[in-house]
Amino acid sequence: MSRFEIPVDDRVLTAEVTGAPDGTPVFLLHGTPGSCAGPKPRSSVLYRQGVRLICHDRPGYGGSTRMPGRRVADAAQDVRAVADQLGVDRFCVVGRSGGGPHALACAALLPDRVMRAAVLVGLAPADAVGLDWYAGMSADNARNHAKAEVGDAELMRDMIALAVRTAADPESLLEELRTQAAEPDLLFMQSVMYRRLLTASYAEALRVGPYGWIDDILAFRGDWGFPVDQIVPPVRLWHGADDTFSPVSHSRWLADRIPRAEVHVQYGAAHFAAVEVLPKILTWLTA
């Protein structure tokens, strides 16, 4: 594993590479909140799969400089900068949860470089026609997104307070999520290993403040900066049917509009099952 910093304009991105040095390059875009320290397959698994896994902290998270007012589309610029630094021309990209829209940005805006893209438990655009965006979403999550839509100052206060609590005690966020989670996610959270991985990611993500998290939510509810119906590379969408954080209807909406998309819905699974399904998705991406 290697970790390094990359200059992008007047900012710095922190990135991490694991797996096979000569493997197929795959960018893993973390969730919300999250960091490149988040859950990923062990290096031995990545070696067997022939995957060179590249992760970076989105602006405002971990070691990456904040980019106020960023849009989802801006993720493509950052991924391109990391790829250029590593000498990577063509690559695949997978986004988990809040990383999903950012993976689609790369597929849409870097069609000459992205070979395949995958989205696990992702979100649809806020202006998705014909989609009841909040249907099936937990009340707290829906409330935060709704506040972001109108630029509510209360959202900033609430998110800052939540981020401060989480940075001081990452387990507290998992306990809060438990009150909103479906049964499959409650079972997932019983795993000591997965709890450690998630809390390590939260701690790293928020060690410099709450603004990566806030900027993600604002970006999701704003104009993404690209049309999903013009995405060229093949896209695989995966979703747990019982997800209460990003409802499965979002992936179904995207699958109907992305030209070369296929959707897989797993029943008896919810949001955090995306961590367990990632190795299978890597196999598809690098096939």
pLDDT at 58: 98
Residue 252: CB atoms within 10 Å: 15
**pLDDT above 80: residue 156:** no
**pLDDT above 70: residue 149:** no
**pLDDT above 80: residue 187:** yes
Contact assessment for residue 76 and residue 110, using Cβ atoms and an 8 Å cutoff: yes
**pLDDT above 60: residue 194:** yes
CA-based nearest residue to 123, from 220, 18, 235, 17: 220
Cα end-to-end span (Å), the chain: 23
Quick: pLDDT tens for 59-114: 999 999 999 999 999 999 999 999 999 999 999 999 999 999 999 999 999 999 99
**pLDDT above 90: residue 155:** no
Give this prediction's pTM: 0.95
pLDDT at 148: 65
Helix (H) / strand (E) element for 119: namely strand 114-120
Q: What percent of the chain has pLDDT over 90?
A: 82
Question: Which of helix, strand or coil describes residue 42?
Answer: coil
Question: Which of helix, strand or coil describes residue 69?
Answer: coil
Residue 152 vs residue 166, higher pLDDT: 166
Contact assessment for residue 113 and residue 87, using Cβ atoms and an 8 Å cutoff: no
Contact assessment for residue 261 and residue 252, using Cβ atoms and an 8 Å cutoff: no
Tell me the C-alpha distance between 93 and 86, whole Å.
15
**pLDDT above 60: residue 150:** no
pLDDT at 145: 74
Residues 6+ apart with CB under 8 A from 49: 19, 20, 23, 41, 279, 282, 283, 286
CA-based nearest residue to 285, from 82, 87, 91, 31: 91
Mean pLDDT of the chain: 94
Mean pLDDT within 13-31:
97
Quick: pLDDT tens for 111-143: 999 999 999 999 999 999 999 999 999 988 887
Domains and CATH numbers, the chain: 2-285 (3.40.50.1820)
Question: Which of helix, strand or coil describes residue 250?
Answer: helix
Quick: pLDDT tens for 223-280: 999 999 999 999 999 999 999 999 999 999 999 999 999 999 999 999 999 999 999 9
H helices of the chain, in order, are: 43-49, 74-86, 99-109, 139-149, 153-168, 171-178, 183-188, 192-205, 211-221, 248-257, 273-285
